[in-house]
Chain A
Amino acid sequence: MESIARPLSPHLQVYRWQISSVLSILHRTSGAVLGMSTLLFAWWLIALASGPDAYATAHGFFSSLGGKILLFAVTWALFYHLCNGVRHLAWDAGFGFKLGTMVRTGWVVVVSSVVLTVISFLLAYA
């Protein structure tokens, strides 16, 4: 089929950054990060099932500085995707579409995801 060069609607790069678009992009990005981190979770489970030696290798990685930084990023991605996912479910149910409400709930999601991530690390390591 021959394609016709029709004018396209303006895409991402012509728009000013704003909380609605940034949080939407972050929702997809955090989802992709969580998708890849399922490999880490599977690795940990398989190592645990394989025995103390394999577990020690996985445990060594997750206890290292790089491993902790990775876990911190994944934990934030998890809580961001969780909180913003609940925001999405509220939209699906028909709530929270007013512009002011949308901005407010967006900031609630950002702040609560950071707080929950920090609390996780305090509970885990402090």
Chain B
Amino acid sequence: MALSKTEFRTPLARVSGLGSAKDGTNHWWQQRFTAVALVPLVLIFWIIALKLVGSSHAVAAAVLKKPMTAGIATLLIIIGLWHLKLGAQVIVEDYVHHDGLKFALIIAIAFACALIGLASLFAIAKLAFGV
């Protein structure tokens, strides 16, 4: 990239500040990274879920118990909720302009995603390892 005549700072100096959010393109990149991972995960779990429609407790528990299913569900939950946390944060940043409320909502979203994720993972662990 050519430097403009009025710009004395080098490209490195400009990017090292990482912009106003101070995390540069990290948020944007993580959103894409998780999106790419979710494409196959969603499609595979879609096939599993289709077979589970209308099934009894014993059948559903037996399917979720399998290492392959439990593994895919675990990845789907972790990556899906991480993708959700990033996306929901952007919605709040776009529409909520009161600083205090904005930060409170961003923190609440992160906590909610962590809680939903941990509860789901605990359920899968209980199914997979038995009690």
Q: Chain A: residues with CB nearer than 8 A to chain B?
A: 28, 31-32, 34-35, 38-39, 41-42, 45-46, 48-52, 55-56, 59, 63, 78, 82, 85-86, 88-89, 92, 120, 123-125
Contact = CB atoms under 8 A, between A and B. Distances in A.
A59 B53 CA distance: 9
Given A48-B64, A48-B127, A42 B116 contact: yes
Given A34-B84, A39-B116, A82-B42, A51 B123 contact: no
Given A31-B87, A51-B57, A125-B53, A46 B120 contact: yes
Contacts, number: 74
Nearest to A45: B123
Interface in B80-99: 80-81, 84, 87-88, 91
B91 A28 contact: yes
Interface residues of B, number: 32
Interface in B88-131: 88, 91, 113, 116, 119-120, 122-124, 126-127
Q: Which 5 pairs show the lowest CB-CB distances between chains A and B?
A: A49-B123, A124-B53, A45-B123, A55-B57, A52-B57
B43, B81, B84: most-surrounded residue (chain A CB, <10 A):
B84
